[in-house]
Structures are given as C-alpha cells and as structure tokens.
Amino acid sequence: MSVRPKIGVFSFSSCEGCQLQILNLEREIPAIAGLVELVNFREAMNKISDDYAIAFVEGSITREKEVAEVEAIRKQAKILVSLGACAHLGGVNSLKNPKPKEEWLKTVYKTTDVFTDTFETKRVSDVVKVDYDIPGCPIDKFEFVRTVFALLAGVAPRLPDKPVCAECRVKPNPCLVEDNELCLGSITRAGCGAICPTYGEECVACRGVLKDANIKGLTKILNDRGHSKTAINGKLELFNLLAKIEV
Amino acid sequence: MTHDIHIRIPHVTRVEGHGNIVLDVKSGKIEELRLEIVESPRFFEVMLKGRPITEVPGITSRICGICAISHTCASLRACEATLGITPSAETIILRKVLLNAEILQSHILHLGLLVLPDFFGKGSVIELAKTEPEAVQAALRLKAAANEIAALFTGRHVHPIGMAIGGFKAWPEKKVFSKARAVLEGTQKDLDAMVSVFKTLTPPPLERATNYVSLTADKEYALYDGVIKRSIGGITKVADYKDVINEEVVRYSTAKQSKSNGKSIMVGALSRLNNNFPLISGEAKDAAKKLGMAEPSIKPFDNNTAQLIECVHTVYDSLKLLERDIPDGGPPARATNKAGRGVGAVEAPRGTLYHEYETDKDGIVVSANCIIPTAQNLANIERDIEAIVPSIIKEPQEKIALTLEMLVRAYDPCISCSTHFLDVKLIGGGNG
C-alpha cells in the first residue's frame, strides 16, 4: 500500500500522559512518521484534519459534549483504539463515581448549578464500540508501536494473556506478596514488563484484571498475610472500579 | 480603518489541554477578551477524600502526565508535612534530581516541539524537522536524556514509580548513578545548539512589569524547597500560601484565576529567574549572557528564554547533586495513621505548585486542595493580551491571531492541570 494511513490522536478526561508517551518515542517517531500520516494531534500540531482512518482515544468520557465528540470520531474512524487506563478502564477518574454528583460539585465548586452536563466516569467502550485497547497508566510506548505496526500489517493487535507475575519472575524480582505487600500482579494482565514491582512498587492492576484470574486464590494468600478484604478492594478499585470486581 | 477585530481561536493547539482565546475589538477598543479554559473537570479533591494518605502521591501524579514528578513531589511534601515526617537528605537529593529531569523534559518539549515551529512559520515539529533538522534532533535528544534520567531512578517519567512518603521503595543500584552522570554529561552539545538557535530568534516586542512569584531559598536556586517570594509583597511561608494566592471565580472558564492582593501575578521560569538569578549555576549564567538575559526581564516572551536557561541549570545542578553515588536513603515511612494538616510546595516546570491535605487519626484523607501554576498565570496572560493588542491592531487578523497564540504559548500553559481543583462559574450554561 503506497498511501500512508491517516491517524488521529484524541484526548478526553485524562492527564494527557498517554499522548505524552507517544511524544516520548523520540527515537522511533521519524520511522513511524514515514509509515503513517498524522493528521490530527492537537497537542503537537496546528493544522488538524478530520479525515483519518485510525483513531487513538485517550481519556474517560465524563461530559455530554464528550459523548457527541467520541461518537463523531467513531463514525469517521475505521479503527478505534483506546489509549490508556482512563479510556480502557475508567481509571482513577472513576473514584468519584460512588459519591453523589452533588458532592463532587459542592466539594470543588461550592455550588451545584455549574457543570450540569458532567456525569459518572465512563469507559470509551461504554459509549462507542472500541476495536482494540492499549492498556496501562500510562501506556507502554512500545505497545503503542506494536499496535500501530500490527494495524499497518492488517493483523489484529494482541495483548498478552498472562499475569504480570510471569514478567516479574523473569526479571527476576523478589516477590512483593512474599514481602507482605498488597501486590495485584498475579491477577493483572502483563505487557508492562512488571515495571512497578521492578522499581519496588506493588502492582495496582492498571492494565486490567485477566478474565480467568484466580482472584479467590490471591485473596486467600493476602488475607493470610494480614491484608483485609477492604484493603484489597480499595487497591483494586484504584483503576478497576467500573469492572465491579469484589473480593 | 475602524479596527474592528473578532478573533475566536477554538482549542489553541500546541498547548497541553483545551483552551480558547476570544478577542473582540470595536473601533480600536477592546470590548471582550477572554482566555477560556474548557477542559473537563475531573474532581481530584473528591477522588482523594476517603483514601489512605499513602495512596495520595500515586493518585495526584495522575493530575498531569507532563508534570507527574512535580505533582508527586508537592504531594509527598504535603503528606510529610501532614504526618510530621522528615525524609533523609539522600532521599531529598534524588527527588531534586528527578524534579530537575522533569523541568528539563517539560521545557524542552515546550521549546523544541511547541514554540520553535512558530518562529520558523511551521505548523508542527514534523514540518519543522524538514527545514531545521539539527535543532529538532537536538531537542529530541535532550528530551530523551531527561526521560532517561527519570526512567533510571523511577522507571519512567509519566507517573514515576516508587516515590513514597519518607523515602524510595527501591534504592537505585550503584551503576545507575554513573549512568545518570554519563547521560547528563552527554547533553552539553545539544544544550549549546539550543542556545545558538534561540539566540537568533526575535519574539514580538512586549514589555509589561507584573508581580513575579516563585519559591526562593538562601543557598540554592529554589525548585524543590523554599519560601514564597513575591517581587511585590516580599516573603511568605509555604504553609501560609492562602495569604498570598487568592483564587477568583471567572465566569467563562472551568479554571479559577489566581491573584495576589487583587492583581495578576506571573509564575514560572521567568519569575524564578527574576527572583533568584544570583543562585543559578555558573553554566546557566553563561547561557543567560549569550541569550542576552542577564538582567531581570519584564518581557513575557522571555519566559521561553528563561526556560532554556533553566534547562542548562537543571543539568549542571543534577551533575553536582550526583557528584558521588548517593548511599541508600532508607525505606518509606511505615506509620502513616495520624491526624494532621499540611502544605507542600515545589516549583513545577510552569511555576509554584501547592498541595494541601488534611487527614483523620487513621491517616485517611478528609480534605485536599491543590493550586496549579497555570491557574495562577491565567489573569496575567489576559493582561498581557490587553497590553499587546494596541501594537498589533493594524496587522491582518491572521497575524494577530498568531501573535496571541504565541503569547499564550510562551506561558507554556498546562491546561489539563489547571482545572482539576478549581472553582468555576459559567455564563448561561455555556461552557465556552
């Protein structure tokens, strides 16, 4: 194919860190730029076009106007890929959801008659069909590159189907659960290279919980080591509140 | 000529987050002028309420991908003030190196990828790379170097890993320090190249003195630590920040504007340099001389130049901090179940960033507040637009719009940050 596919990168409620991960591909950007045509990336360019085939969507959907915008993106794009935990899972944005809207507005704005169009945090897939996900908070920038290459080759991008523990073992990192930390690596989708445990931090499941994860097994081990169900649920909900997984 | 202008710049590009510029001039007089912030609110204060304080730095890092380390540092300082914890000197050295790396990466991203295209008449860095490949390559290499420093110590720059209350969760191995020194030493040529490029640029002429606000310290160029200095108004303790920064509700914006004594203020690289120039590293002073900025400046566009001077400073400051391998600074604090209230402030790339928390006896967050640099600059940007309009009013509309965008961009606004904790008032239900 001689025509380079046109790509758009879009941002909704988020820290924009996943877009930044794309800009952080300093060494790879020139090669990628030769293969695709970036036509809409507001953070980096000023001539933007709505003629694109592949859309990467960052951020959660939290306002009426964002619903209309993401629907328009879905209508235009042949392929829509969620970019990062806010888009994929709802991420930390969902932590406001269990509290009433009145409380959000009063806490931040001291009144409830502003931002009447804001609502509970939604995943992009709650609003439009999402073809593929690039998980993580933030995304792994090389997973973005692999996804782009797969799409260019006409192949469905695939995410690893193993837990973070598998990647932690090969490092090899000392096991944080054995160290009495509340680590969720054994139920979380790999692909991050176990980067958090490698730098001493417990896995917080920002890439989502695996479908066939042994949640009961992990809960028992963590309970035996003195972590309460409340503490485990608290950690799980940091990124996965909308998945409604409870131990 | 009647000099009527109606400018609407929706979604200013090449800034972080979503903002609009609105300018209406009738018969040469400004009738309407607004910098509208239209980013969606995320309600971080609500998210934090009820969470254990140990989770707070990790959550507040997610306020902003570009200033993730600054938010983490301000948050850690506020957590430690709340709990009465003093981190080790070694821990503080590492935090300072990380904050330096973030300031370098953010400034270079701004200068190389967002600002430079304007001066060469290009729409993006991709177009700029075709005509100015050396400058773009130098900027990209510097940005990569800054990211590498962050990655060496905390795994990555966007949402650093292992920075915890009281200490680091994993202390870097010895080889990390020598690697970091090598990366820092390798930046000199590219820093020189950036200075050479910026030396040749002529920004639009605009002079307007304002109140320059930053942290200040006795013995160092204040970034991680210090007290608040206002060029008009003197010194204030960080804990008393509310005496200095008054937030004001603005009807058309989802972000509140900050003022001091009812007047606009400026924060960021230019304010820091104006307030603390004698304490910047010698190499940065040399760069300042080459860039013609050895004196305090009242030109808002000099914020770009000040950022470049700070880039040089952060590299040489980190080299000094990492002169020797830093021995293990000790583990994070274990006892965090304590009632308290505390404020933390650091200089983020765009200016002074404040976090304040209150906890109950179990160390659960009762309330939180953050004041973000861009919110502090919004009122000042509007005053600058007012000041520059008369001098450019006869230009074609397109040129006026470009100059206004360049002016907004010079402040390096980080709009996605600036709304998250801020009050808002809207007119007629419209969100701008």
- The shortest CB-CB distance from A15 to any of B51, B64, B124 is to B64
d(CA A73, CA A5): 16
Q: Do A16 and B421 touch (CB under 8 A)?
A: no
Q: Do A43 and B64 touch (CB under 8 A)?
A: no
Rg (CA), chain A: 19
pLDDT of B422 > 60? The answer is: no
Distances (CA, A) of B274 to B244, B300, B306: 18, 12, 9
pLDDT at B252: 62
> Residue B234 — left, alpha, or beta (φ > 0 → left; ψ -120 to 50 → alpha)?
left
Residues in chain A closer than 8 A to B133 (CB atoms)? none
Beta bridge partners of A81: A56, A132
Interface of A with B in 191-210 (CB under 8 A): 195-196, 198-201, 204
pLDDT at B424: 25
pLDDT at B415: 62
pLDDT of A2 > 80? The answer is: no
Residues in chain A closer than 8 A to B158 (CB atoms)? 17-18, 20-21, 24, 138
- A56 three-class SS: strand
Structure tokens at B354: 């404040």
CB B412 within 8 A of CB B349: yes
pLDDT of A116 > 60? The answer is: yes
Mean pLDDT within B266-276: 97
Interface membership of A40 toward B (CB under 8 Å): no
Residues in chain A closer than 8 A to B47 (CB atoms)? 92-93, 95-96
pLDDT at A43: 66
d(CA A22, CA A17): 9
pLDDT band at residue B425 under the 50/70/90 scheme: very low
Written out in words, the top-level CATH class of the domain with range A6-152 is alpha beta
d(CA B297, CA B85): 39
Higher pLDDT, A176 or B417: A176
Nearest one of B250, B249, B253 to B431, comparing CA atoms: B253
Helix spans in chain A (H): 17-23, 29-35, 64-76, 85-88, 101-109, 141-152, 164-170, 195-198, 215-224, 229-240
pLDDT of B307 > 90? The answer is: yes
User: What is the DSSP track for B171-187?
Assistant: PPPHHHHHHHHHHHHTT
The dihedral sign for the CA sequence B113, B118, B119, B122: positive
Residues in chain B closer than 8 A to A98 (CB atoms)? none
Q: Do B65 and A196 touch (CB under 8 A)?
A: no
CB A58 within 8 A of CB A86: yes
Higher pLDDT, A117 or A179: A179
pLDDT in tens, B67-91: 999 999 999 999 999 999 999 999 9
Residue of B nearest to A31 (CA): B126
pLDDT at A48: 74
Structure tokens at A238: 């940091």
Residue of B nearest to A90 (CA): B42
Residues in chain B closer than 8 A to A29 (CB atoms)? 140
pLDDT at B413: 83
pLDDT at A110: 76
Question: Percent of chain A, pLDDT > 70?
Answer: 97
Structure tokens at A220: 């028992």
Higher pLDDT, B294 or B196: B196
> Residue A94 — left, alpha, or beta (φ > 0 → left; ψ -120 to 50 → alpha)?
alpha
Interface membership of B372 toward A (CB under 8 Å): no
Interface membership of B62 toward A (CB under 8 Å): yes
pLDDT in tens, B2-59: 578 787 776 666 666 667 888 888 888 888 888 877 677 888 989 999 999 999 999 9
Residue B282 identity (one-letter amino acid): G
pLDDT at B18: 67
The b/e string for A63-85 (b: 16+ C-beta within 10 A; e otherwise) is beebbeebeebbeebebbbbbbb
Single pTM value for the model: 0.94
Q: Which of A145-159, B125-139, B252-266 is the least confident region? A: B252-266
Q: Do B109 and A45 touch (CB under 8 A)?
A: no
Helix spans in B203-268 (H): 241-244
Q: Do A91 and B62 touch (CB under 8 A)?
A: yes
d(CA B223, CA B226): 7
Higher pLDDT, A26 or A198: A198
Largest CA distance in chain A: 60
pLDDT band at residue B421 under the 50/70/90 scheme: very low
* Residue in the block written with tokens 């001039």: B25
Residue of B nearest to A138 (CA): B158
pLDDT in tens, B368-402: 998 889 888 988 998 999 999 999 888 888 888 88
Q: Do B424 and A138 touch (CB under 8 A)?
A: no
pLDDT at B12: 64
- The shortest CB-CB distance from B126 to any of A33, A108, A118 is to A33
d(CA B124, CA B118): 8
Q: Where in chain A is the domain with CATH 3.40.50.700?
A: 6-152
> Residue A84 — left, alpha, or beta (φ > 0 → left; ψ -120 to 50 → alpha)?
left
d(CA A69, CA B43): 21
pLDDT in tens, B338-352: 999 999 999 999 999
Residues in chain B closer than 8 A to A109 (CB atoms)? 423-424
Structure tokens at B162: 């292992």
CB A74 within 8 A of CB A1: no
Residue B263 identity (one-letter amino acid): K
The two beta strands, B257-260 and B263-266, are antiparallel
pLDDT at B432: 24
Cβ-Cβ contacts under 8 Å for B217 (sequence gap 6 or more): B225, B226, B227, B276, B279
On average, the pLDDT of chain A sits at 93
Distances (CA, A) of A34 to A10, A30, A37: 21, 7, 8
pLDDT at B2: 56
pLDDT at B254: 59
* Residue in the block written with tokens 């890439």: A207
ipTM, 2 decimals? 0.95
CB A48 within 8 A of CB B165: no
Q: What's the 3-state SS for B235-248?
A: EECHHHHHHHCEEE
pLDDT of B103 > 70? The answer is: yes
Q: Which of A158-167, B128-137, B350-359 is the least confident region? A: B128-137
pLDDT at A223: 97
pLDDT in tens, A63-112: 998 999 999 999 999 999 999 999 999 999 999 999 999 998 888 777 77
pLDDT in tens, A127-173: 999 999 999 999 999 999 999 999 999 999 999 999 999 999 999 99
pLDDT at B248: 65
On average, the pLDDT of chain B sits at 89
Interface membership of A71 toward B (CB under 8 Å): no
